[in-house]
Amino acid sequence: MTSIVAVLQHREGKLHRMSLEAIAAAQQLAALSGGKASAILLGSGISEVAALVAASDLAGVRVVDHPLLADYTPGGYVAALAGLFASGAPDIVLFPHTYQTVEYLPRLAFAIGGGIVPEALSFEMDGSEIVWKRPILEGKMHARVRAKGSGPILASLQSGAFSAEGRKPGQTAIENVSVDLATAATWREILGVEQMGGDTVDLTKADIIVAVGRGVGGADKLGPIEELARALKAEVGASRPVIDSGWLPRDRQIGSSGQTVSPKLYLALGISGAIQHLVGMKGSTCIVAVNKDAGAPIFKIANYGIVGDLHEVVPAMLAALAAS
Amino acid sequence: MKIVVCIKQVPETDKRLRVATDGRWIDEAELSFAINESDEVALEQGLQLAEKHGGEVVVVSLGPERVRESLRKALAMGAARAIHLRHEAFAGGDAIATGRALAAAIRREGCDIVLTGSQSDDNGFGATGTLIAAELGWPHAWLVMGIEVEEGARTFKVTREMESGLSEVFRLTLPAVLEVQAGLNHPRYASLKGIMSAKKKEISEPTPADLGLADGQVGQAGSRLEVLSVAFPESSAGAQIFEGDGAAAQLIAKLKNEARVIS
pLDDT of B236 higher than 70: no
SS3 letters across chain B: CEEEEECCEEECCCCCCCECCCCCCECCCCCCEEECHHHHHHHHHHHHHHHHHCCEEEEEEECCCCHHHHHHHHHHHCCCEEEEECCHHHCCCCHHHHHHHHHHHHHHHCCCEEEEECCCCCCCCCCHHHHHHHHHCCCEEEEEEEEEECCCCCEEEEEEECCCCEEEEEEEECCEEEEECCCCCCCCCCCHHHHHHHCCCCEECCCCHHHCCCHHHCCCCCCCEEEEEEECCCCCCCCEEECCCCHHHHHHHHHHHCCCCCC
B137 at A interface, C-beta within 8 A? no
Of A118, A144, A299, the CB nearest to B229: A144
For residues A283-301, average pLDDT: 91
- CA distances for A78 relative to A61, A104, A184, B97, B169, angstroms: 18, 7, 9, 20, 20
Predicted confidence band of residue A19 (pLDDT cuts 50, 70, 90): very high
Predicted confidence band of residue A89 (pLDDT cuts 50, 70, 90): very high
Of B17, B95, B251, the CB nearest to A116: B95
pLDDT tens-place string over residues B42-52: 999 999 999 99
pLDDT of B245 higher than 90: no
B191 at A interface, C-beta within 8 A? no
Best probe of the A interface among B170, B180, B243, B254, by most A CBs < 10 A, is B170
Q: How far is B214 from chain A (nearest CA, A)?
A: 17
pTM of the model: 0.87
Q: What is the ipTM of this complex?
A: 0.92
Please judge whether B255 and A197 are an interchain contact, meaning their C-beta atoms are less than 8 angstroms apart.
no
Please judge whether B159 and A289 are an interchain contact, meaning their C-beta atoms are less than 8 angstroms apart.
no
pLDDT, residue A194, reads: 86
pLDDT tens-place string over residues A156-212: 999 889 999 999 999 999 999 999 999 998 899 999 998 766 556 889 889 999 999
pLDDT, residue A140, reads: 84
Q: Considering only residues 136 to 155 of chain A, which have any Cβ-Cβ distance to chain B shorter than 8 Å? A: 136-149, 151
pLDDT, residue B170, reads: 97
pLDDT, residue A200, reads: 67
Q: In chain A, whose CA is at the least distance from the CA of B94?
A: A116
For residues B170-195, average pLDDT: 95
Q: How far is A246 from chain B (nearest CA, A)?
A: 9
A219 at B interface, C-beta within 8 A? no
pLDDT tens-place string over residues A231-264: 999 999 999 999 989 999 988 999 988 888 989 9
pLDDT tens-place string over residues B106-147: 999 999 999 999 999 999 999 999 999 999 999 999 999 999
For residues A150-157, average pLDDT: 96
B122 at A interface, C-beta within 8 A? yes
